[in-house]
Amino acid sequence: MTITEAKARLPLPELARRLGLPGPIPDRDGKAFTCWWPDRHNNGDRHPSMSFCYQLTGYKCHACGMKGDGITLLQHSLGLSQQEATTRFVTMAGGQPLSPPDTAPREKKKKLHLPTDLRRGNVDDWQAVADIRHLDVIAVDLAVEMGVLRFGTVHGFPCWIVIDESRRVAEARRMDGQPFPQTDRLPQRKAHTLYGSDKSWPVGLRPLHTKPHLFKKIMLVEGGPDLLAAYHFLCVTQAMDALPVAMLGRECHHIHPEALRFFSGRNVRIYPHADTDGGGIEAAKRWAGEIEAAGARSITAFNFSGLTREDGHPVTDLNDCTLIKNTHKNEMKNLVI
């Protein structure tokens, strides 16, 4: 059975019902219904904005821009790869599963385990994150709009979560600022990396944005708090042509090859943590080497050493810079490339 035949035999309304997606779901093209991904909408808007097209083989939401066919719907609903979703779709349509196109070992990809209540959050959530990380709430709002900040329950704790549209990696921190307690398998930790994460993916690189190619600059930071701090300084400096991305941990030695392609032709600034053991700088050097080989237009690094916070502590990362001493504020003008 070809994919075209499968699409004709398994129209989208039937597929959606078999997947248990919320209804009512119309049985004709062009009739608007509630989008299946309201968390991608402003304030979770649930007005009918989705409709079917191409004789019930395509869907499109004019609010969030999600569009596709039965195969992409399976990918999004069940978290399958394109190949897995294609096989599943043909099988569901009553056809024989297609044989794998090659025998090459496929990339082992674990499914990212996301909280079932993953959401955009509300003004109170955004203000709470702004307070705990001392950020402008406008920056937190921007991060939510760009799809890199979400909220949800992880290990029973209300959390803020950094993530992007690639769904390759996500990291949660507790809203109360406390660490996650030790478990049988995991030590006590400030941040919990969600199961199935691939830390070689710089989180933020696939924002919820229709034209990501317009970002000519990339701010590469380390860790979730610095990702939000980068958004803070974007707002402060009005440098809206820069895209903040974060490697989630200095122990991640390589950047994902697919991610590296995105650095080609761009101006990149790295913000290495000024750790006392120099580990942050070492990690930044490795990443810079890979980014240079990938064809970045320029690579610079921002040096935090010598900067002091208002409370007298040295600045060691970008998030610290939001507490910088007034006399050092001038340095922040050149923070973004």
**Segment near Zn ion (CB under 5 A); pick from 53-61, 77-85, 152-160, 186-194:** 53-61
| The only residue of 15, 61, 85, 274 in contact with Zn ion, by rule CB under 5 A | 61
Q: Are 94 and 9 spatial neighbours (Cβ–Cβ below 8 Å)?
A: yes
**Segment near Zn ion (CB under 5 A); pick from 17-25, 30-38, 268-276, 296-304:** 30-38
Pairing of strands 58-61, 67-69: antiparallel
* 64 near Zn ion, judged by CB under 5 A: yes
Burial of 1 (0-12, 13-18, 19+ CB in 10 A): middle
- In sequence order, the β-bridge partners of residue 190 are none
The C-alpha atoms of residue 284 and residue 333 are separated, in whole angstroms, by 22
Cβ 45 to Zn ion, closest distance in Å?
8
* 16 near Zn ion, judged by CB under 5 A: no
Closer of 50 and 291 to Zn ion (Cβ): 50
The C-alpha atoms of residue 227 and residue 231 are separated, in whole angstroms, by 7
Structure tokens at 11: 């129209």
* 12 near Zn ion, judged by CB under 5 A: no
Single-letter code of the amino acid located at 174:
R
**Segment near Zn ion (CB under 5 A); pick from 4-12, 34-42, 72-80, 144-152:** 34-42
Q: What is the largest CA-CA distance in the chain?
A: 70
Cβ 40 to Zn ion, closest distance in Å?
5
Closer of 35 and 80 to Zn ion (Cβ): 35
Closer of 146 and 307 to Zn ion (Cβ): 146
Cβ 212 to Zn ion, closest distance in Å?
18
Closer of 77 and 127 to Zn ion (Cβ): 77
Cβ 22 to Zn ion, closest distance in Å?
13
Closer of 63 and 149 to Zn ion (Cβ): 63
* 35 near Zn ion, judged by CB under 5 A: yes
The DSSP-derived string for 258-316 is HHHHHHTT-EEEE-----TTSHHHHHHHHHHHHHHHTT-SEEEE---TT-BBTTSPBP-
**Segment near Zn ion (CB under 5 A); pick from 54-62, 87-95, 97-105, 122-130:** 54-62
Q: Residue with structure tokens 């297609």?
A: 98
Q: Which residues bind Zn ion (CB under 5 A)?
A: 35, 61, 63-64
